[in-house]
Amino acid sequence: MTTYIMLINWTEQGIRDVKSSPKRLDAARKLLGEMGGTMKAFYLTMGEFDMVVVAEAPDDAVAARFAMMLGQAGNVRTRTLKAFPELAYREIIASLG
């Protein structure tokens, strides 16, 4: 499984109905699970982004589809980063020659 870090901000619609946000989080977690992925961690954050999710998905297409499905609902906007674990990082650096 590939790890993805999702940086999330509420839209105007999403913040207006912020009290429903925990239910939406539960629904997103379930959706990702049905797509073959898992939500490893969720954080409410202060600063440039409102929330951060660490997720795993079988491939980039699943991660992209998940992010688009979240955006389609109109409550959040996402930025998704593909994350390489330390071992992969070390292998990539070692391969530079």
Distant-in-sequence, close-in-space partners of 74: CB < 8 Å, separation ≥ 6: 11, 13, 14
Q: Which domain holds residue 72?
A: 2-94
**Are 60 and 2 within 8 A, CB to CB?**
yes
Q: Sorting pLDDT into bands at 50, 70 and 90, what band is 97?
A: confident
For 15-63, write each residue's pLDDT tens digit: 999 999 999 999 999 999 999 999 999 999 999 999 999 999 999 999 9
Q: How much is the pLDDT for 33?
A: 98
Q: Please list the helix, strand and coil fractions of the chain in percent, rounded to the nearest 5, in that order.
A: 45, 30, 25
- Work out how many domains the chain is built from and give that number: 1
**Are 6 and 63 within 8 A, CB to CB?**
no
The CATH number of the domain where 44 resides is what? 3.30.70.920
